[in-house]
Amino acid sequence: QGAIRFEDVRFGYDPERQILRGVSFEVPAGKSVAIVGPSGAGKSTISRLLFRFYDLDSGRITIDGQDISEVRQESVRKSIGIVPQDTVLFNDTIRYNIRYGRPSASDEEVQKAADLAQISRFIELLPDGFDTMVGERGLKLSGGEKQRVAIARTLLKSPPILVLDEATSALDTHTEQDIQSALQLVSRHRTTLTIAHRLSTIIDADEIIVLRAGVIVERGSHRDLLQSN
Ligand code: ADP
Ligand code: ADP
């Protein structure tokens, strides 16, 4: 469930400047595809289009064979979880922030997601030291810890599709490796689209696509691309 298909997608934010110039690829259900390429290539634009934030100039994006332009944006977004580079948390407890992934979840389910993401020790605390102003106990979460909250939230939401948009690029190397393994937990058996600058941050994508100036210039396995670059 959650197969993604881009068919000759063309798109520009302005009519004079096309950002994606005929992009076609497929992420089979449960598989993982990574898009790499330099800054400005159009990688994040691909994820925004998948979320239906904009209409295409031409081409088609389908999820499980259904054209997403014919589906309500809300239900498209419901089927996709995202772990972004910068996780913005609500000014409320970590528990609340995790539960946001699926408000109907039971306390046990929230707890389990927190355990898996290894953040249960501060689940009752607020994400930011500044919150001590309201008389609650706050803490200052590191970038990696915020990512873990986002991961727990996504585990709880359990969407068929996962988008990792430069999810670890803001972290130091040690934390990055740590979060990578937590992300593997979330992406297992889920259709996963990973967006990254560097090939080195991608561990186990089934296919890697190299995007340059809105065009796919290369595709293959991790090993294929390492050999050719
Ligand atoms: P990447 O993720 O590969 O760094 P993006 O998809 O973010 O690239 O951006 C591709 C191009 O689209 C860039 O030249 C960027 O300046 C431009 N762009 C991104 N967002 C907008 C926007 N909202 N309005 C106009 N241009 C944009
Ligand atoms: P919800 O549907 O849970 O109320 P939102 O409407 O904020 O949450 O977001 C729906 C989905 O879109 C979530 O998976 C969220 O992480 C993702 N999302 C929200 N904002 C952005 C963004 N700027 N870029 C990409 N994805 C986003």
Decide: 191 and 4 in contact? Cβ < 8 Å. Answer: yes
In angstroms, rounded to a whole number, what is the distance separating the alpha carbons of residues 78 and 51?
A: 9
Higher pLDDT, 60 or 228: 60
Look up residue 222 and give its two tokens: 């991790």
Decide: 193 and 35 in contact? Cβ < 8 Å. Answer: yes
**pLDDT > 50? residue 133:** no
Rg of the Cα atoms in the chain? 18
User: Which pLDDT score is estimated for 136?
Assistant: 56
In angstroms, rounded to a whole number, what is the distance separating the alpha carbons of residues 57 and 138?
A: 46
Under the banding of pLDDT at 50, 70 and 90, the label for residue 199 is confident
Q: Token pair 């740590």 is at which residue?
A: 178
Task: Say what the ipTM of the complex is.
Answer: 0.65
| Ligand 1 pocket test target in 9, 44, 45, 209 with most atoms within 8 Å of CB | 45
Least confident span in 18-32, 53-67, 128-142: 128-142
| Ligand 2 pocket test target in 48, 51, 85, 194 with most atoms within 8 Å of CB | 51
Mean pLDDT within 29-54: 94
Mean pLDDT within 195-207: 81
Higher pLDDT, 86 or 56: 56
User: What's the DSSP call for residue 201?
Assistant: G
User: Which pLDDT score is estimated for 203?
Assistant: 67
pLDDT tens digits for 67-78?
A: 999 999 999 999
Least confident span in 58-62, 115-119, 129-133: 129-133
Question: Is the pTM value of this prediction over 0.95?
Answer: no
